[in-house]
Amino acid sequence: MFRVVYMAIACAAVAAAQDKVTVPLSNPSQPVTVKVHLISGSITVTGGGAAGQIAVESGSRTGRRPPRDVPDGMHRIDMPVGLNIDEDHNVVTISAGGNAMGSSVTLQVPTNVSLELKSISGGKIEVTGVNGDLDVDNTNGSIELTGVSGSVIAASQNGSVTVSMTRITPNKPMSFTSLNGKIDVTLPADTKAHLRLKTDNGAVYSDFDVKLDPAAAKPVVEDARNQGGKYRIRMDHSVYGNINGGGPEYRFETLNGNILIHKK
Amino acid sequence: MKQLIIPIAVGVFAIAAHRDYKLEEREAFHHTFSNDSTLDVDAVSGSINVVGDGGNTIRVDGEKVIRAADQEEVQRAKREVVLDINEKNGIAQLYVNGPFRDNDHTSENHGFHDHRDREYEVAYNFTIHVPRATELTLRTINGDESVQDTTGKFNVKGLNGKIAMTNIAGSGTADTLNGSTVITFRENPKADCFFKSFNGKVDVGFQPNLSANVSVKTFNGAPYTDFDATALASTPDPGELKNGKFVFKSNRSSNLRIGSGGPELKFETFNGNIQIRKLSR
């Protein structure tokens, strides 16, 4: 039997509406996946927590944004984010109800955990010290993964993507993409990868020895004329290159921003 | 889920009630109940206005307003829609009865069922004077409800209309769907209360010496107060194991203490703002 601990923190003032929940894992010795899906808000995940459980804490949903239209002489009452959490066979799913503006969710997880973190607006997604398959998607905010290992798929639209990896899972493709943000990725020096690089209004910088592979960037010709179709040339504006002799494809792509690939 | 379904049904009702009928007939009536401690009004369309005063009886001044397409429909409305006036166990009851009530066929009208579309609408507007301490049970579907100067328990429910209670004491429930719930207490409630509007605002004024436990819940609205309030721990909810799955669902309410605590006052909206107001003496 797992013991479930619940605490609610009562602070002074009208603020401090919080949920604090410890989620027990069905089978701590097996792989664990944690999914957090927010419409609006920041997500912070820190590894190195106690085995067999995920500690979840949510801040109030008034957040940083100062409330508008406050009636004279009144103050706003903070509302809790209103988390829904469930755990099923080591898959923990966390979501927040409503349009909880400016909410924040903080997790303390065991080091070996795979993550799927998604938010649309209202904050940053930060992960520190986690080893696993990390799938992070933040439409309007930045992504910061520090001291992580395993494999990463990180996608933002309007924020920067900053990742530093201590170890990587070999032979697994990875992806670091944004539209209007900078991509800044630090990889171990011995990383073997086939890089696919693309930025429309930026530059690519690296201290890896990148062996460019122009052959991979050839346009693709699709000829369907003999079946009544079209003749089409698909131009791929990406640049390809190998580091340490090549390996799985690592995609780095942004429209308006630089791409930095650091060697650790 | 239930709450999400209701507005759709109500929308149909409201459209039906907005037809332009050529004929209008008004019929005033008056009734005095003998010696009741509770007023129970169950109406469908029209306003309910209750005023507490120093009298000893419940005095009803009402008006039946019929709007219809033609004279035949006026007569049909008169025949089909009636006000039942009842009295039992100290309860004075006004019940608007008509074919729209007969969904479960419990009325006495078990003869031929007239399925022609009704080309009329009937509204009852009530102004009811009551002894101040009278307990109130009021409900209507299309219309506003107002209460002034009473001190008894109250249970006021609306659907497409606002609830306004002014200068009251006592405790109870005020709950509507499409309208505001606005209340001022001349004496703070001594027992639990529930104030709700789904689409409108909830605005409740209390005397400055308020001492209560407050719970606030809203989906799209913003809650405000000018009382000094202390955040309380949420009701401990450790989550639970359901068929081997762990499940936690936040109750999404914010719990506060005003003064040294006391009765539980619940405020809830879906789309409107909530204001918990300190009245100046």
Dump pLDDT digits (tens) for B110-125: 566 667 788 899 999 9
Q: Which of B224, B230, B237 sits opposite A74 (nearest CB)?
A: B224
Is the domain of A187 the same as that of A245? yes
Element (H, E) at B23: strand B23-32
Phi, psi dihedrals of residue A215, rounded to the nearest 5°:
-60, -35
Residue B13 CB neighbours (<10 A): 16
Q: Give residue B106's pLDDT.
A: 55
Is the domain of A157 the same as that of A253? yes
Phi, psi dihedrals of residue A226, rounded to the nearest 5°:
-70, -10
Q: Is the pLDDT of residue B170 over 80?
A: yes
Q: Is the pLDDT of residue A69 over 90?
A: no
Q: Are B27 and B64 in contact (CB under 8 A)?
A: yes
Is the domain of A161 the same as that of A244? yes
Q: Is residue A137 part of a domain?
A: no
Q: Is residue A43 part of a domain?
A: yes
The percentage of chain B sitting over the pLDDT mark of 90, rounded to a whole number, equals 70
Is the domain of A70 the same as that of A162? no
Dump pLDDT digits (tens) for B16-72: 445 688 899 999 999 999 889 999 999 999 999 999 999 999 999 999 999 999 999
Tokens standing for residue A86: 């469930």
**Which residues on chain A are in Cβ contact (under 8 Å) with B226?**
73-75
Q: Give residue A60's pLDDT.
A: 65
Q: Give residue B1's pLDDT.
A: 37
The residues that bridge with B224 in the sheet, in sequence order, are A76, B275
Dump pLDDT digits (tens) for A30-42: 999 999 998 888 9
Is the domain of A20 the same as that of A82? yes
**Average pLDDT estimate for A98-116:** 84
Question: Is B243 part of the contact surface with chain A (CB cutoff 8 Å)?
Answer: no
Q: Binning pLDDT at 50, 70 and 90, where does residue A102 land?
A: low
Dump pLDDT digits (tens) for B199-216: 999 999 999 999 999 999
Question: Is A67 part of the contact surface with chain B (CB cutoff 8 Å)?
Answer: yes
Q: Is the pLDDT of residue A61 over 60?
A: no
CA angle in degrees (0–180, nearest 5) for A78-A81-A82? 120
Distance in angstroms between the alpha carbons of the first and the last residue of chain B: 42
Question: Is B279 part of the contact surface with chain A (CB cutoff 8 Å)?
Answer: no
For strands A83-88 and B245-249, give the pairing.
antiparallel
Q: What would the DSSP string read from start to end of A108-126?
A: E--SB-EEEEEE-BSS-EE
A80 → chain B, closest CA residue: B252
Q: Give residue A41's pLDDT.
A: 85
Is the domain of A106 the same as that of A43? yes
Q: Give residue A18's pLDDT.
A: 67
Classify residue A64 as left (phi > 0), alpha (psi -120 to 50) or beta: alpha
Q: Give CA–CA dist A176/A174, Å, rounded.
A: 7
Element (H, E) at B2: helix B2-16
B223 → chain A, closest CA residue: A77
**Which residues on chain B are in Cβ contact (under 8 Å) with A8?**
233-234, 236
Q: Are A127 and A117 in contact (CB under 8 A)?
A: yes
Q: Binning pLDDT at 50, 70 and 90, where does residue B109 land?
A: low
Q: Give residue B172's pLDDT.
A: 97
Q: Give residue B7's pLDDT.
A: 42
Domain ranges of chain B: 23-99+118-131, 162-281
Q: Is the pLDDT of residue A236 over 90?
A: no
The percentage of chain B sitting over the pLDDT mark of 70, rounded to a whole number, equals 86
Mean pLDDT of chain B: 87
Q: Binning pLDDT at 50, 70 and 90, where does residue A10 land?
A: very low
**Which residues on chain B are in Cβ contact (under 8 Å) with A99?**
220
Q: Give residue B4's pLDDT.
A: 42
CA distance B221 to chain A (A): 10
The residues that bridge with B225 in the sheet, in sequence order, are A75, B276
CA distance A132 to chain B (A): 23
Shortest CA distance to A113 belongs to which of A57, A45, A162, A56? A45
Give the sign of the dihedral formed by CA A60, CA A63, CA A68, CA A74: positive
Residue B52's contacts (CB-CB under 8 Å, 6 or more residues apart) are B129, B130, B131, B132, B133, B134, B147, B148, B149, B150, B151, B168
Q: What would the DSSP string read from start to end of A207-259?
A: SS--EE-GGGGPPEEEE-GGGT--EEEE----EEEEETT--SEEEEEESSS-E
Q: Is residue A131 part of a domain?
A: no
Q: Give residue B108's pLDDT.
A: 57
Is the domain of A179 the same as that of A238? yes
Q: Give CA–CA dist A46/A36, Å, rounded.
A: 14
Question: Is B245 part of the contact surface with chain A (CB cutoff 8 Å)?
Answer: yes
Domain that holds residue A91: 16-115
**Which residues on chain A are in Cβ contact (under 8 Å) with B237?**
6
Q: Is the pLDDT of residue A77 over 60?
A: yes
SS3 B228: coil
Among A181-190, B52-61, B240-249, the minimum mean pLDDT is found in B240-249
Is the domain of A218 the same as that of A154? yes
Q: Give CA–CA dist B147/B159, Å, rounded.
A: 16
Q: Give CA–CA dist A153/A207, Å, rounded.
A: 22
How many distinct structural domains can be found in chain A?
2
Phi, psi dihedrals of residue B25, rounded to the nearest 5°:
-130, 135
Is the domain of A77 the same as that of A166? no
Mean pLDDT of chain A: 86
Q: Binning pLDDT at 50, 70 and 90, where does residue A75 land?
A: confident
B227 → chain A, closest CA residue: A74
Element (H, E) at B16: helix B2-16
Question: Is B239 part of the contact surface with chain A (CB cutoff 8 Å)?
Answer: yes
Q: Is the pLDDT of residue A225 over 70?
A: yes
> Who wins on pLDDT, B243 or A46?
A46
Is the domain of A150 the same as that of A66? no
